[in-house]
Structure 1
Amino acid sequence: MTKIRLVVVDDHELVRKGILSFLLTEPDIEVVGEGKSGAEAIQLAKKHTPDVVLMDLLMENGNGIEATKVIVDTGLNSRVVILTSYYDEKEVIPALEAGAFSFLLKTSSAAEVVTAIRKAAKGESVIEPKVTNVMVKRLRHHEKKLHDTLTEREMDVLQCISEGMTNAEISEDLFIGIKTVKTHVSNILSKLSVADRTQAAVYANRNSISKPKKD
């Protein structure tokens, strides 16, 4: 049986030892290293090239976010599973942006932690529901800000895009020139941080932006 090679990093010794105690009973998991800081997490990952790094976020001498970024950027193919007590936006978003593969809270059961480790080794992410809620709230807030930056005419054009209208159709509908439509579309794509009209239409539909119904 091929074992999952694991590194455990947490600056609270009692927590770390508690995690290690229940992991030792799992026949398919081999703990190849343990540490208490972000700096040690990086050293252990480079030394042992584990399949999974189970790591706390807030630690002295290099936190989990910084360590995650280094581990991911160095291409070690070690998947980082965050296990922390904190799940507000200032921890969750930077950790995921740094490349954390999964995000669990310390209120998780031993069985849930073990399952997340096994899934990470297979390439499957696990995100704690409370963390998912933070991500959804951030997305909604971010998106609202994005389309709030559009001018009134750009909103008109976005509503037309949401209906699948071409530039020529938008030009005719809004009584503006084709070049003006193209300029508005370009501005919309830039302000919404989307790549094309399809993504702009998806954004509009997700945010209930559509042309007013004519009587």
Structure 2
Amino acid sequence: MNGQETPRPAAARGRVRVAVADDHALFRQGIKEMLATAGDVEVVAEAATCEQAVAVVSKTKPDVVLLDLEMPGMGAEEAMRRMLQLSPRPRIVIVTMHDEPRLVRRFIGRGASAYLPKSASLTELVEAVRHAAEIRESPQGEKGVIVPQEIMDNPDRQADSLSGRELEILLQAARGMSNRQIANSLHLSEATVKRHLANIYAKIGVGSRSEATQKALSEGWISSFEVSRPEGRGRSRS
């Protein structure tokens, strides 16, 4: 810390203890080296899968967890949910290559304290870690969240003409699920799914699933992360 910085409550009681959860060893090492320059931040645990992340956080009880969205295992959303049930509860900072505003809202809404793209600067990373630690120590438990301005400035275009149910069906269709699979997943009849898909095509001006998927992705109605990682399914590794 330099003499011009405002003292941080977390630093005042000692170093901020951080766990880094990312399946790329070189990235974890780079994060450790970057945080080491801050002086008041210490990486106390690492994990390469979602299950490992939950286990090491439960064991080491860090102040802050840096969590990648695309690790093998149960999925980052479920891992975050389990970590936030621990006592003492860590604060979660999402660090990912996905910067879609839709995902930002999703993970912030589920309890993340900050959301950073992997292109973030050292200053942004350290600020997010310190801020998350302050939230953890705050009696009120909330001091807002950190999201880089470039994400905030990127308009999150909504499919205003589509209902929530239609967006849900469109997402599952984009994942390659059949009408029967979508019906079983959402507890609907196949006829209802077919009717919803016909309505979707008419509303957005397309004639097929592939066209609907391409338009939904290009317009930001659904994200590539959501399409590639259905909830509860880990990423396979070759």
Into which bin does the TM-score normalised by the smaller protein fall?
A: 0.5 to 0.7
1:23 matches 2:35: yes
C-alpha displacement of 1:70 = 1.1
1:32 matches 2:44: yes
Residue 67 of structure 1 aligns to a residue whose secondary structure is: helix
What's the TM-score, normalizing by structure 2? 0.54
Residue 18 of structure 1 aligns to a residue whose secondary structure is: helix
Q: Name the amino acid aligned to 1:120.
A: A
Q: Distance in 2 between matches of 1:47 and 1:29?
A: 19
Which structure dedicates a bigger proportion of its chain to helix? 1
Query: What runs of 5+ residues in structure 1 fail to find an aligned partner?
Result: 147-215
Partner of 2:152: 132
Q: Distance in 2 between matches of 1:20 and 1:91?
A: 25
- Residues 87 and 130 of structure 1 are in contact (CA less than 8 Å); yes or no, is this contact kept in structure 2? no
Q: Classify 1:64/1:130 alpha carbon distance in 2 versus 1 (closer, same or farther; 3 Å).
A: farther
Q: Distance in 2 between matches of 1:49 and 1:42?
A: 10
C-alpha displacement of 1:77 = 2.0
- Residues 101 and 152 of structure 2 are in contact (CA less than 8 Å); yes or no, is this contact kept in structure 1? no
Q: Distance in 1 between matches of 2:160 and 2:42?
A: 41
Partner of 1:110: 122
C-alpha displacement of 1:91 = 3.2
Partner of 2:21: 9
Q: Classify 1:102/1:143 alpha carbon distance in 2 versus 1 (closer, same or farther; 3 Å).
A: farther
Q: Classify 1:76/1:133 alpha carbon distance in 2 versus 1 (closer, same or farther; 3 Å).
A: farther
**Share of identical aligned residues, percent?**
31
Partner of 1:149: none
Query: What runs of 5+ residues in structure 2 fail to find an aligned partner?
Result: 1-11, 136-142, 165-238
- Residues 65 and 92 of structure 2 are in contact (CA less than 8 Å); yes or no, is this contact kept in structure 1? yes
- Residues 19 and 43 of structure 2 are in contact (CA less than 8 Å); yes or no, is this contact kept in structure 1? yes
- Residues 32 and 48 of structure 1 are in contact (CA less than 8 Å); yes or no, is this contact kept in structure 2? yes
Q: Distance in 1 between matches of 2:64 and 2:125?
A: 12
Residue 98 of structure 2 aligns to a residue whose secondary structure is: coil
Larger RCO, structure (CA 8 Å, separation 6 or more) = 2
Q: Distance in 2 between matches of 1:120 and 1:114?
A: 10
Cα shift readout 1:20-71 (whole Å, capped 9, x = no counterpart): 1121222211111011121111111111111100111111113322211111
- Give runs of aligned pairs for residues 20-169 of structure 1, distance below 5 A: 20-88=32-100, 91-123=103-135, 124=143, 125-133=145-153, 137=156
Aligned length: 144
Q: Distance in 1 between matches of 2:102 and 2:15?
A: 34
C-alpha displacement of 1:133 = 4.8
Cα shift readout 1:125-174 (whole Å, capped 9, x = no counterpart): 2112344356x636x6679969xxxxxxxxxxxxxxxxxxxxxxxxxxxx
What's the TM-score, normalizing by structure 1? 0.59
RMSD between aligned residues: 2.5
Which of these two proteins has the greater Rg computed from alpha carbons?
1
Partner of 1:159: none
Q: Name the amino acid aligned to 1:137.
A: D
